[in-house]
């Protein structure tokens, strides 16, 4: 069985990546969404073990010292990290494992797992991003301003990703994401073992 692909998905707040990820997991059967560990407080409606594993700073640091995370980062004063066990188990079971994480973590994953695929979800335009953030109605004007400023910083790193995906129509973006992931599996650089195997079989003929 072919091993699954490790896929990192980043994007500005308000690009709709959360909805995309939920649809990816429900519409296709070979995706596993990693649940991160965080020290930030749960928002109303969030459940422990579903959106995140909510832990204390001490518990988080203990997990770091036990080498239980594949990556972690400090984001706006809180720790966020990806538990290792789930990722390794799901990849071994042939699933594509999705990490919805920010850029510092994404770059650490690329360093540690060079075969990982890095995707960045973009809004169709900056004006549309603002419209979506305002339209949600869940954030104050001040928070919206902070998120837009943060988007300017995050936009500096996009060239380090493998592909961008524009989320204009959610269904089209979802299908493109699946297609990119399936195609990426056939990159020569991700199939060096198979190439080597054919090479040595050829010599045996
Ligand atoms: P939020 O607090 O809005 O849920 O998440 C804040 C940011 O942390 C988002 O950009 C999200 O993608 C990122 N994030 C969530 N989990 C992880 C993780 O395990 N590692 C890293 N590096 N970032 C994460």
The total of other beta-carbon atoms located within 10 Å of residue 135's CB is: 10
Smallest CA separation from ligand 1 atom 11, residue: 101
Name the one residue in this structure whose structure tokens are 């790193």: 157
Output the pLDDT for position 31: 97
User: Is the pLDDT at 22 greater than 80, yes or no?
Assistant: yes
Output the pLDDT for position 162: 97
Pocket test for ligand 1, best of 10, 80, 154 (most atoms within 8 A of CB): 80
Rounded percentage of the chain residues whose pLDDT exceeds 90: 84
Between residues 1 and 179, which one has the greater pLDDT? 179
Instruction: Please report the domains of the chain, with CATH numbers, ordered by start residue.
Output: 6-34+94-204 (3.40.50.300)
Name the band, by pLDDT with cuts 50, 70 and 90, for residue 1.
Answer: low
Closest to 25 (Cα-Cα) out of 174, 184, 185, 182: 174
- Measured from the Cα of 17, ligand 1's closest atom is 12
Pocket test for ligand 1, best of 54, 69, 77, 102 (most atoms within 8 A of CB): 102
Paired tokens of 159 = 């060239």
Smallest CA separation from ligand 1 atom 23, residue: 101
> Model confidence over 68-121: pLDDT tens digits?
999 999 987 899 999 999 999 999 999 999 999 999 999 999 999 999 999 999
Total residues found in the chain within this entry: 205
- Range 46-50 average pLDDT: 94
Element (H, E) at 103: helix 103-112
- Sign (positive or negative) of CA dihedral 61, 67, 69, 71: positive
DSSP state of 48: B
> Model confidence over 166-178: pLDDT tens digits?
999 999 999 999 9
Angstrom distance (rounded) from CA 96 to CA 170 = 20
Closest to 30 (Cα-Cα) out of 50, 1, 68: 1
Beta-strand pair 36-38/69-75: unpaired
By CB atoms closer than 10 A (0-12, 13-18, 19+), residue 185 is middle
Paired tokens of 35 = 């649940």
- Work out the mean pLDDT of the chain and round it to a whole number: 94
Query: What's the distance, Cα to Cα, between the start and end of the chain in Å?
Result: 25
Q: Report the 3 state secondary structure along 129-163.
A: HHHHHHHHCCCCHHHHHHHHHHHHHHHCCHHHCCE
> Model confidence over 119-165: pLDDT tens digits?
999 999 999 999 998 887 777 888 888 889 989 999 999 999 999 99
- Measured from the Cα of 36, ligand 1's closest atom is 19
Smallest CA separation from ligand 1 atom 6, residue: 75
Angstrom distance (rounded) from CA 74 to CA 188 = 34
Smallest CA separation from ligand 1 atom 10, residue: 102
Q: Residues lining ligand 1, CB < 6 A?
A: 36, 40, 71, 73, 75, 80-82, 100-102, 104-105
Name the one residue in this structure whose structure tokens are 């042939």: 94
Pocket test for ligand 1, best of 101, 120, 138 (most atoms within 8 A of CB): 101
């Amino acid at each position: 069985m072919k091993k699954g692909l490790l896929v990192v998905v980043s994007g500005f707040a308000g690009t709709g990546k959360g909805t995309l990820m939920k649809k990816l997991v429900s519409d296709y059967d070979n995706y596993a969404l990693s649940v991160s560990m965080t020290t930030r407080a749960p928002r109303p409606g969030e459940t422990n073990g579903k959106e995140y594993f909510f832990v204390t700073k001490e518990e988080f640091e203990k997990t770091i010292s036990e080498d239980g995370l594949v990556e972690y980062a400090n984001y706006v004063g809180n720790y966020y990290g990806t538990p290792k066990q789930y990722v390794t188990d799901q990849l071994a079971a042939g699933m594509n494992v999705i990490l919805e994480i920010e850029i510092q973590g994404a770059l650490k994953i690329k360093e540690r797992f060079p075969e990982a695929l890095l995707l960045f979800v973009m809004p169709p335009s900056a004006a549309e991003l603002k419209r979506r953030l305002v339209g949600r109605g869940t954030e104050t004007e001040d928070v919206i301003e902070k998120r837009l400023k943060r988007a300017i910083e995050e936009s500096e790193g996009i060239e380090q990703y493998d592909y961008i995906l524009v989320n204009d129509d959610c269904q089209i973006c979802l299908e493109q994401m699946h297609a990119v992931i399936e195609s990426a599996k056939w990159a020569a650089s991700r199939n060096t073992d198979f190439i080597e195997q054919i090479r040595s079989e050829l010599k045996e003929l």
